[in-house]
Structure 1
Amino acid sequence: MTMTAGVVLPARNTLFTLARGALGGGVIGASLTALVVGAVIRSVPLFVTGLGVPAVYALLVLLAGVPRRAREAAIAPRTALATVESVEAVRDEATSDVPVRFVSTVAPDDAPAYRVAFTQHVHLADLPDYRAGDVVVVQYPPDRPWRVRLVKRPTPEWEERAAGARIDPAPGPVLAGEEPEGSAVGFVRLLALLLAAAGVLLLFRTDLFDEDTSAGSPSPTRPSVSASTSSSTTVVSSASGTVTLAPHQSFLDQGELRKAITALTRGTDVRMGTAVVVQDRMLSVVYAHTGSQTATFDLDSLPYDRFPALVKEAQSSLGTGSPQTWELTVECLTGSLTIRVGVTAVEGTAWLEADGDAKVVRRTPAR
């Protein structure tokens, strides 16, 4: 039996391949960035989204391929004879089955012969049965002739045909299946990955970098601002500013209070205040109005580093065995700067009063 000819592969849908590559890259970039950003800003919904998006995408791809796989399964494979031109073990593996690359000429009964290269796992004990020049029985889908597979246990009829057949190698190139994705697809996938990652970072830049966002045009005094991050919530107007920390934080933490005051006055000419009230996770600042006769003080000059020590002293030495809440107030209504710390416990409320240098001048035990 001598058959010589070639076969033409179906053309690849380049536009569909590019779109699929872009969608896959976008899903990978967005999901990975959402996981990282969600972990950094402690956002459970964002972290769960990063886990869920690739799972949903994989499910959609699986469902989209169901009709195609059903059509492929409904088409019976064709059986043909083939001559083995070369046999090469792709790599050594610890298992008994090794991947072997075959180059063969397939000779269908009702179509021209063609050359094809394919890889198939073969048991070590069966390797001597496949040598160059041997005629074997193969199967392949009619619409994908490059997907050739050896028939390890053919029917007696096909065994008899293979034993008496001689197939000359077909001329022409060796078919190796569908063409691999080109550099264009890789570039589109990488670009989509980077754009998706940048989009997630852009959406959550405020949470990541603790930036304040302002609404409306800037004013010479203080615009109204509301910014929320994973660590704090800041609300600012021309008359006052408020910072609320997350549950795991406290203004007794080192540098937390000074950082909050700096954030409230950043980008403005507001430096004078009439009152500062601090609780465990809430800070309120009342700014001085232009032309106001109320006594004011420089917000930057307060002894913030001494505030935690004053609160701890009030908690430990004012007879409040198990302090529950505390409040620190700064004002200068009497003309001199006064710092008051109140601690409330089961026994009542105790007070500590200090001057502008945070030196204690008066203590009032709990009653």
Structure 2
Amino acid sequence: MGMTGQRRADEVDRSSGEARSGMSRFLAGLRLVVLSGVTGAAVAALVVGLILTDVPVIATGGGALVLLVVLGALGGRRRSAREQPPAGRIALARIEDLRATSGELADVPVEFSLTVAPEPDDGRPAYRVKISQSINLVDIPAYRPRGIAVVEYHPEKPWDVRIVTRPTPEWSRRAEEAEIDSAPEYTLVRDPDGGAGAWCLLVLVGLVAGAAVVVLSFRAELFASDDSRGVPKESSSSSASRTFSTSTTVSGPSSSLLTFGRMRMTAMELEARVDTPYVTALTIEAHRMAVRGDSALPPAETVHLQSLPYELFPGLVREARTTLGVRDPESWRIDVTPGTGAGVGPRVRVTVSGTEGTARLDADATGRITDRRAVGENG
């Protein structure tokens, strides 16, 4: 076979190998994107669950992460047990070109362009390869263009080549006597996985895509209005019935609504939230305040939040807890509702509960007690 025929055969083999390598890289990239996407979704689910205090979402994200770690560990063990490191072969190589990239240390990184000539029994023709290797500053003069060096390469990974800086006497003699022709440029081989930047980009795309799917799925809860963040609450609104309800829970040190000024401040916050001071019911507990309303009702059938004597309510709670027969009160609640009839103001009812039972007292809009029901009394 002539030189032209040999070149065509080499090109056909090279094209076939590149096609198989390209398909392998595509499948590896697809697998990497899928795994990265699942990982990103799991991390995002864990974070979203913590933000929303949603236990099922937290469990899903955490469980997926644990499963990925376990599968990765098992896959790594199987792969390491199945794959044996390729055996290196010693050969001679012609130095086509070399260039030192820096000279600050004793070992200088040098970029080599080589023609590797495998042994005849390896069944592989000579080929080009470019490598980078650190060479001691003292040994650099031994390497020159068109010189012969002893190298180690791996038949399964022909791009994995290293110069043997301390060859055996036999190989040193062969390197001194050998003459190697330059291989054509088309025989240049490269590491198919050398594009680390592309793989990193695929990982980043997968992570972002997976996280975006989870975040967009919970966008309604995550990107609620500013009023709905910061305090746990229940809120509902219907433009058809024109009714509304909302609540807020206070927390932290000195968070009891019995603290002076806390009730009025919290009521003003709820008023701003529902955008009206007129409500049909107000409920106050130790750490929670809630309102309900119907914007279709006239003011006479509602309670005006700003007109209530919040400063007197702690005294009413104290009166109910100490004078109605509940020796060890466990909870209390204030319910404010509109009065019945013309000219009748809102009604205030304080209810306390304990091991003995439930008791209550009623008051008017000025904080004056109008009725008492101790433990055990009917009505």
Say yes or no: does 1:204 pair with 2:218. Answer: yes
Distance in 2 of aligned mates of 1:132 and 1:341: 98
- Give per-residue Cα distances to partners, 1:199-225, cap 9 Å, x unaligned: 2113323432348xxxxxxxxxxxxxx
| Contact persistence 2:364–2:370 (CA under 8 A) | no
- Residue 17 of structure 1, CA deviation: 3.7
Q: Does 1:117 align with 2:127?
A: no
Cα deviation for residue 177 of structure 1 reads 1.3
Q: Secondary structure at the match of 2:160?
A: coil
| Closer/same/farther in 2, CA of residues 74 and 187 from structure 1, 3 Å limit | closer
Unaligned runs of 5+ in 2: 323-327
User: Counterparts in 2 of 1:328-343, with a 5 A limit?
Assistant: 328-333=334-339, 335-340=344-349
**Paired position in structure 1 for 2:48:** 37
Cα offsets for 1:53-104 (capped at 9, x unmatched) = 567546545644555555542542222222333334456788x656443221
Kept in 1, the 8 Å contact 2:36–2:204? The answer is yes
Q: 1:105 aligns with which of 115, 128, 140?
A: 115
Q: What residue identity is the alignment partner of 2:302? A: F
- Determine helix, strand or coil for the equivalent of 2:84: helix
Deviations 1:326-360 (A, max 9, x none): 422202345311345567899x99979562xxx54
1:52/1:79 Cα in 2 relative to 1: closer, same or farther (>3 Å)?
Answer: farther
SS at match of 2:211: helix
Aligned mates of 1:101, 1:135 — CA distance in 2: 16
Q: 1:262 offset after TM fit, Å? A: 7.5
Aligned in 2, Cα 1:89/1:297: closer, same or farther, shift over 3 Å?
A: farther
What is the match of residue 306 of structure 2?
303
Q: Which has the larger radius of gyration?
A: 2
Root-mean-square deviation (CA, aligned residues, Å) is 5.4
Match for 1:302: what amino acid? L
- Classify the secondary structure of the residue corresponding to 2:149: strand
Shift of 1:52: 6.8
TM-score (norm 1): 0.63
Measure, in 2, the Cα distance between the counterparts of 1:58 and 1:127. Answer: 46
Question: Contact 1:240–1:284 at 8 Å: present in 2 too?
Answer: no
Q: Is the 8 A contact 1:235 1:242 kept in 2?
A: yes
User: Does residue 20 of structure 1 match 2:31?
Assistant: yes
- Whose helix fraction is larger, Structure 1's or Structure 2's? 2
Q: Write the distance in 1 (CA, Å) between the matches of 2:108 and 2:69.
A: 30
The separation in 2 between residues aligned to 1:236 and 1:178, in whole angstroms, is: 60
Pick from 89, 92, 99: which aligns with 1:78? 89
Distance 1:316 1:161, change over 3 A: farther
2:325 is matched with none
Higher-RCO chain (CA-CA 8 Å, sequence separation at least 6): 1
- Aligned residue number for residue 278 of structure 1: 284
Kindly tell me: are residues 123 and 313 of structure 1, through their superposed partners in 2, closer, same or farther at Cα, counting changes over 3 Å? Answer: farther
3-state SS of 2:192 partner: coil
1:87-106 matches, cutoff 5 A: 87-90=98-101, 99-106=109-116
- Check the 8 A contact 1:84/1:103 in 2, yes or no: yes
**SS in structure 2 at match of 1:87:** strand
What is the 5 A alignment of 1:78-227? 78-90=89-101, 99-110=109-120, 111-120=124-133, 122=134, 124=136, 128=140, 131-133=143-145, 134-173=147-186, 174-178=188-192, 192-210=206-224
How far, CA to CA, are the matches of 2:116 and 2:151 in structure 1?
8
**Deviation per residue, 1:280-303 (Å, 9 max, x gap):** 344565668x99xxx8415xx313
> How many residues are paired up?
332
Q: Give the match's secondary structure for 2:222.
A: helix
* Pair 1:45–1:324, CA change in 2 (3 A): same
CA distance in 2, matches of 1:131, 1:310: 96
Instruction: Report the CA distance between 1:115 and its aligned residue.
Output: 0.8
Contact 1:311 1:326 in 2 (8 A): no
Which residue is 1:220 aligned to? Answer: none
